[in-house]
A and B are shown apart, each in its own frame.
Chain A
Amino acid sequence: MIPLSYIFIFSSLLFVIGVFGAISRRNIITVLMSIELMFNAANVNLVAVNRIMHPADAVGQVLALFAMTVATAEVVVGLALVLAIYRKFDNVFVERFNLLRG
């Protein structure tokens, strides 16, 4: 059995990679993908904790499935936005999207 801490380290790494990608990538598609990485890190945690601490139930797995479903819906919305932005700005580089600038 893999110890829980290993899985936590793995998911943390996955999350940090996601954060790093979300902050540092220019391409908005990549940013969306990095956000998916962060989602997955959370899902890994859900599944692992459920599997190791309460093997009898599958609550964590079910929750992970729900999360994936919701994330998928979000990605749909996000990609739709990306499409709209692309049509408006003619590119996909996030540094151009500074309409919120004070």
Chain B
Amino acid sequence: MGELLLALTPGIFVIPVLAFPAILFLGGKLPCRGASIGIVGMGICLAASTALLVMALMQTLHLPYAWNFPWIRFGMFEVPMGVYVDGLSIVMLFVITLVSLLVQVYSLGYMHDEPRFTRYYAFLSLFTASMLGLVIADNLLVIFACWELVGLCSYFLIGFYFEKPEAAQAGKKAFITTKLGDLGFLLGLFVIFSASGTFSVAHLEDMVKAGFIPLGVLTTVAILLFIGAMGKSAQVPLFVWLPDAMEGPTPVSALIHAATMVAAGIFLVARVFFIFEASHTALAVVAGFGAATAILAALMGMVPEDIKRVLAFSTISQLGYMMAGLAVGGPEVGIFHLTTHAMFKALLFLGAGSVIHAVHTNDIWKMGALSAKMPITFATFAIGVFALCGVFPLSGFFSKDEIIHAAFAAGNLPVAVTLSITSGLTAFYMMRVLVLVFLGENRDKHSYAHAHESGATMTVPLVILSVFAVFLGAGMTLGHLFERLVPGRLVHESGSHMTTLTVALMTSAIAFTGMGSAWAVYKSKIVSHEKLYMVLNPVWHALYARLGFDHFWLFLVRLSDKLAVAVAWFDFEVFDQMFIDCFGALTVWWARLSAWIDDNLVDPLVDLQGKFALLAGALARSTVTGLAQNYLLYVVLGVGFILTLRFYP
């Protein structure tokens, strides 16, 4: 049974791949305008993934399972294509198929009035398929191909409302920014291939573990691959695309933020963690960037008035947590947070979508007091918020606690402290959203009057996700289940040995402080937020401008633009006008010289030959007089000549 399921894992990738053209070309004629294909296909994938997950938890599978066939041959090298399924893949498969299925069901309601409904579902399928391919691929080249497919689909979906200039811009921005990271990934691939001669993850792991690859190369590769992950997983300073990606439909944001796009970077680092593990430098870099991302994004998340943008910054911040968690605690810690985060972040986004669907605005200042009108959305959203804040015993508490605990255990005090502070900030801005949207008084009569609870297709996914958001963390941690799936916790000799309880109490205290302050500012108004705004005005503006990261990249883009113009000028003025044209002129002169020589020297010589032949012909013809007497004379002369030769030697 288990073997059969494992052998069928490529099918989990193939089904949505086939669903893509099926929906695109046949969707219009099918029930639900093509959504049925996507949902049924994803349901099958989810069933298979769940079965795999359960069997992996019961440890009845022989993992890792590897199967491949030769794909590319060049010279003595051979790149196979195939699947490599281990606990990590199975967790990811489950998360991706679950979130994707719920998002597709949810979109039935959310996208109901969309004219490009069919195309939307086709791209959802392709997007999910590329991510599924990425997590089961057995070599880095295939991972890279899927990685690029993910990027492409994100471009289509973020820019889905392409009539809106902002959406079109956001799609381009996401595509180009992640391409910048992909450059690092690609270079990393070159380096690792030239050092090892293989792309296969399993072979690479063996080679690295056996110490065949020098440390310098490993560090380089690790950092290059991390740059790739930075782009996809929106780490500082390449996170700028993600807040703008909010221009896409909200369910797409849920998919991007929970399961597909941003998880790819984390997954990549976890997949090749053996490379990172071997290099302390790389681990330190990853931890540093992760922590910096976590706190900077959390700070930026305090200010936006757009509900989705707050969630976007929160995602970036949590991705920073995951990266830092990977670096200090290993895949088990990092991927655990990815899993729990996927659940509650999808929940939060879908909840936000439900709110936006009801009030037709993204601005949290135009919402308020929606808890009475939308009880299910409120309850599930609140669960998501508490899970993200790390309230005991929701899932975020366990996974975040693991990361901070691991950071202390690793003795990486700056990272540990940064992450602890960040959890307070997270609690603050999430509580701010919860209070402003659902509690307090309604600030916009018009939108409040029209607000209503969303339909079942939208609320059922919310409820399912909130169940996972509540129980996943506790279940996995208390049952010691997750380490069965993704073993690989880093063990540190040095570092402070804080007990789990101490860390848990500390993080809880910080989280409650953050939530309490938000409550104090936005609900009970002990400190009015207007007054705070006046005091912190410059800081607020700096944060609102995303600490200048956008300007920094824009500056770089403009700089490279100027550089390109300068190079173009140089190319035109110097190379084109001076060198190329000079050669051109010389060539023309040379051609004229050749033509002159041809006309005046070569041609007359040729003519001379002709003239000589004519002359010889005329000479010879003059002997043919037609007079028999002349011919007789020639005969006589000829005979005389021969006789002369004969007798006068």
Contacts from A to B (Cβ < 8 Å): 19, 22-24, 31, 94-95, 97-102
Contacts and interface: CB of A to CB of B under 8 A. Distances in A.
Nearest to B626: A101
Contacts of B624: 100-102
A94 B628 contact: yes
20 contacts: A19-B632, A19-B636, A22-B632, A23-B633, A24-B629, A94-B627, A94-B628, A94-B629, A95-B627, A97-B627, A97-B628, A98-B625, A98-B626, A100-B624, A100-B626, A100-B627, A101-B626, A101-B627, A102-B624, A102-B626
Contact of A23 (B621, B625, B626, B632): B632
A19 B633 CA distance: 9
A98 B626 CA distance: 4
Nearest to A102: B624
Nearest to A19: B636
Contacts of A24: 629
Tier of interface size on chain B: 10 to 19
Interface of B: 621, 624-629, 632-633, 636
Contacts of B636: 19, 23
Contact of B626 (A19, A31, A99): A99
A16 to B, nearest CB: 9
Contacts of B628: 94, 97, 100
Closest 9 CB pairs of A and B: A101-B626, A102-B624, A98-B626, A100-B626, A23-B633, A23-B629, A102-B621, A98-B627, A23-B632
A97 B629 CA distance: 10
A31 B629 contact: yes
A29 to B, nearest CB: 14
Contacts of A98: 625-627
Nearest to A98: B626
Contacts of B629: 22-24, 31, 94
Contacts of B625: 98, 101
Contacts of A94: 627-629
A72 B290 CA distance: 134
Nearest to B621: A102
Given A22-B632, A102-B621, 9 more contacts: A19-B632, A23-B633, A95-B627, A97-B626, A97-B628, A98-B625, A98-B626, A100-B624, A101-B624
A102 B632 CA distance: 16
Contacts of B627: 94-95, 97-98, 100-101
B24 to A, nearest CB: 87
A83 to B, nearest CB: 17
A24 B633 CA distance: 9
A19 to B, nearest CB: 6
A75 B376 CA distance: 144
A54 B503 CA distance: 156
Contacts of A19: 632, 636
Nearest to A95: B627
Nearest to B622: A102
A99 B626 CA distance: 6
Contacts of A99: 626
Contacts of A102: 621, 624, 626
A38 to B, nearest CB: 11
Contacts of B621: 102
A31 B629 CA distance: 9
A98 B627 CA distance: 5
A90 to B, nearest CB: 18
A89 to B, nearest CB: 13
Nearest to A100: B626
A91 B627 CA distance: 15
A23 B633 CA distance: 6
A43 B621 CA distance: 38
Contacts of A100: 624, 626-628
Contacts of A95: 627
A55 to B, nearest CB: 31
A94 B626 CA distance: 10
Contacts of B626: 97-102
Nearest to B630: A23
Nearest to B633: A23
- Which of B621, B628, B633 has the most CB atoms of chain A within a 10 A radius of its CB? B628
A101 B628 CA distance: 10
A24 B621 CA distance: 22
A90 B140 CA distance: 111
A42 B628 CA distance: 22
A31 B633 CA distance: 13
A101 B626 CA distance: 3
B398 to A, nearest CB: 119
A19 B621 CA distance: 25
A22 B627 CA distance: 12
B626 to A, nearest CB: 3
A98 B625 CA distance: 7
B642 to A, nearest CB: 15
Nearest to A35: B632
- Which of A23, A94, A97, A99 has the most CB atoms of chain B within a 10 A radius of its CB? A23
